[in-house]
Amino acid sequence: MSKQGRIGSGICYGKRETKKESSDVGVKRLRQKVMTKPEKYIFPFAALALVIAVCVVPLAAEISNVISTRHIAHRMDEAILTVNNELDIELVVSWMSERCYQCLYQQLGVVPAGPSPGQPSSVDFVVGTQHGITLQLNSTTVNLELCTVPFHFGEHGNYSLWVKNLNMVNCSVVTGADPVNSYIPILVAFLIFAGLALASAIGTTILGLDVVRGFFYRISGSMETERLINSELGSPDRTVSLIADNILPPPSSPSKRLRSLDTFRGISLVIMVFVNYGGGRYWFFRHESWNGLTVADLVFPWFVFIMGTSIALSTHSMLRAGSTRCSLLRKVVWRSIQLFIIGVFIINPNYCHGPLSWDNLRIPGVLQRLAFSYLVVACLDLLVARGRLDILTTDAWWSPGLDILLYWPAWLCVLILEIIWLCLTFLLPVPDCPTGYLGPGGIGDMGLYANCTGGAASLIDRWLLGESHIYQTPSSRVIYATHMPYDPEGVLGSINSILMAFLGLQAGKIILHYRDLHTSIISRFLIWGLLLGAISAALTKCSTDHGFIPVNKNLWSLSYVTTLACFANVLLVLVYFTVDVKKWWSGAPFYYPGMNSILVYVGHEVFEEYFPFSWRMSNSQSHTEHLTQNLVATSCWVFIAYVLYRKKIFWKI
């Protein structure tokens, strides 16, 4: 942990002449300080926050009402389906999720035949409500399909499925009790945070007015002036620094650090913390079961991307300052080792369940992948980076591509790595599985490849690391009912994470080569976004499951990287334009965790089970309570990052 001191906090003026000359200057600078920091006064914020709270009370009341009236048997994301059978034969009820590609139907239960004509037999079943499902009813005697019913059930609703024989079998779903709107808590949370953002913007605008600033100056000016006079007339033997808090030294040269990069990193980190804490138990804040994207699938690649951008800027800065490549290489290797060790021994084990066990210690992980990607990409950049860019010619015909052509050896290395990934993925034989298999296994692909989850990627992990040292409960278990362990941060996928970091490195090269040329930077970001988006469209055929290489977070597929890099370039344009170009937004509150990313990430993992990040809920089957807890926990880490930023405390590895 490193702590940086406040500039000017230790300056003392030893000469009387300096003391005299500084008195008037101190008052002038004091006025400037008072008038440029209106954010100290937050009373308008509190008033507007109160108005917002009053506005959302009716919605909160509706949440309480729907919770109190829910069915006693309902759990989160569940509904009750009563199947009424008027036929004289038993029925087998099966189901399949609409998100399950080429899946087998899973049996829900058996409904006996009706006891007499016109008198049905009824059986209650619990069905999921996260996605639409297709119900299939078969007769038990000849296994004949009688009907299929696609339906999207609502949370905590009661439904009846009537099976009648009116010359032909007729199946229809009737709603008995309306479901609750489980998205109201998200709406309330959005209104609260949007209201706070609006209050902050309005308050900052009001406090920035000359009239308001003058008012606060008049209130505090006399007190501060008296302090300055007392300091002038104080004890002669007192070492006077003219109250260093108020008399600042001449301002240093402005920092070249781009706030947009830290803001981008902070956005990724805050969303990552929120989804890791549960995301209110909403399915779209969890990782996709196999192919496709959810909000949770966006943030890790974005973090890797902006890490690559930071590598380009920091390497260039240190080379320009005179550091040798060998010394920088030692720092890169040491930092990678630290990240890997923290990931394996601090993040991966759950010490609440007992001491570390070597027998089932998971080796891959998020920080481990960051360490590996950082090591490779930073070494590539050290190979080709230049400390001086202002001496390069810009008159040649190829100068518009200078940010690419100068670094062709690194591009060649990344291209070779990508060829290795393609060859291993599509050509490596996997026992009892089709070569080039990219599916989830389990009940997918009609259950033909149940033990083939992940194909070559899974085989390489089990061979190199051992089955007990990889992730045991992958997200594919949720929909595809897989039972094979599979690690989404495995060895083969790390190659594509290198590609993601390298694409971020390219964004950093654009910033370096076209510094202060905002139009050139933005246009190149957009061109890269368009190019990567076109590659993704070609690889996926603009579909979830039918492309050559589907978008898949578990595999870190090539299309997943190009798609997320496309999104990252577009998002970086928006943040760069609003924060660094137009300065419409300071980047707050995301800027603060972005400045202390390692501390926030490690802290949120280590203290996950501690208050105020977690507590025992009165109703664990409520999205409202989960969302409240997860938002409070995430907000706490943002606040912690803000406090550490104000105290100039940053954890650097």
Please write down the HEC assignment for all residues of 549-581.
CCCECCCCCHHHHHHHHHHHHHHHHHHHHHHHH
In the predicted structure, residue 88 carries a pLDDT above the cut 90: no
* Percent of the chain residues past pLDDT 90, beyond the cut: 63
E strand or H helix that includes residue 199: helix 184-207
If you average pLDDT over residues 644-648, what whole number do you get? Answer: 94
**C-alpha–C-alpha distance, residues 516 and 87, integer Å:** 77
Between residues 97 and 235, which one has the greater pLDDT? 97
Which residues on adjacent β-strands are paired with residue 177?
A: 158
**Confidence at residue 221, expressed as pLDDT on a 0 to 100 scale:** 60
Of residues 507 and 176, more confidence is placed in 507
Measured in whole angstroms, the distance separating CA 126 from the mean position of its chain's CA atoms is 32
Q: In the predicted model, what is the mean pLDDT of the chain? A: 83
Is residue 603 within 8 Å of 637, Cβ to Cβ?
Answer: yes
Residue 393 pLDDT grade (very low, low, confident, very high; cuts 50, 70, 90): low
Is 420 in a helix, a strand, or coil?
A: helix
Structure tokens at 422: 């393609």
Strand partners, 150: 134
Residue matched to tokens 């309570």: 625
pLDDT in tens, 169-181: 788 899 988 999 9
**Residues of the chain by 3-state class (helix, strand, coil), percent to 5:** 55, 10, 35
> End-to-end CA distance of the chain, in Å?
8
The backbone torsions φ and ψ at residue 291, rounded to the nearest 5 degrees and listed phi first, read: -75, 145
**Amino acid residing at 572:** L
pLDDT of residue 386: 80
Tokens 């990219």 locate to 438
Of 390-394, 426-430, 467-471, the range with the lowest mean pLDDT is 390-394
Calculate helix-pair angle for 299-320, 558-575, nearest 10 degrees. Answer: 70
Among all residues, which ones are annotated catalytic? 287
Q: Please count the residues of the chain.
A: 653
How many CB atoms are located within 10 Å of the residue 532 CB?
Answer: 21
**What is the pLDDT averaged over residues 293-302?**
96
| Location of each CATH 2.60.40 domain in the chain | 78-177
Helices (H), 487-557: 491-513, 518-540
State the pLDDT confidence band at 227, using cuts at 50, 70 and 90.
low
321-343: string of b/e by CB count within 10 Å (b at 16+)?
eeeeeeebeeebeebbeebbebb
pLDDT of 582 higher than 90: yes
Strand partners, 597: none
Given pLDDT bands bounded at 50, 70 and 90, which one contains residue 351? confident
Q: How far apart are CA 175 and CA 55, in angstroms?
A: 32
Judge whether 150 and 105 are in contact, CB under 8 Å: no
CA atoms within a 13 Å half-sphere pointing along the CA-CB vector of 553:
21
The highest-level CATH class for domain 78-177 is mainly beta
> Residue 241: what residue type?
S
Given a contact cutoff of 8 angstroms between Cβ atoms, the answer to whether 575 and 260 are in contact is yes
> Mean pLDDT over residues 478-498, rounded?
95
Residue 400 is given by DSSP the state G
User: Which residue is associated with the tokens 């590659």?
Assistant: 535
Over residues 334-359, mean pLDDT = 88
Return the minimum-mean-pLDDT range out of 67-81, 140-154, 617-631: 67-81
In order, the DSSP letters of 423-473 are HHHHHS--TTS-TT--S--TTSGGGTTTT-TTTHHHHHHHHHT-GGGS-SS
What ranges in 386-433 are assigned the alpha helix state H?
A: 402-405, 408-427
Query: Which stretch of DSSP H or E encloses residue 93?
Result: strand 91-97
C-alpha–C-alpha distance, residues 266 and 590, integer Å: 5
Taking a C-beta distance cutoff of 8 angstroms, is the pair 579, 263 a contact?
A: yes
Q: Which residue has the tokens 């032909």?
A: 168
| Cβ atoms < 10 Å from Cβ of 140 | 14
Handedness of CA 551, 554, 556, 562 (dihedral sign): positive
* Segment 616-620 mean pLDDT: 89
CA–CA dist 419, 487 (Å, integer): 22
Report the sign of the C-alpha dihedral through residues 466, 472, 476, 482, in that order: positive
String of DSSP letters for 352-378: GGSS--GGG-----HHHHHHHHHHHHH
CA 626 – CA 620 distance, rounded (Å): 7
Count Cβ atoms below 10 Å from residue 62 Cβ, excluding itself: 14
| CB burial of residue 440 (10 Å; 0-12, 13-18, 19+) | buried
Q: How many CB atoms lie within 10 A of CB 529?
A: 19
Amino acid residing at 315: T
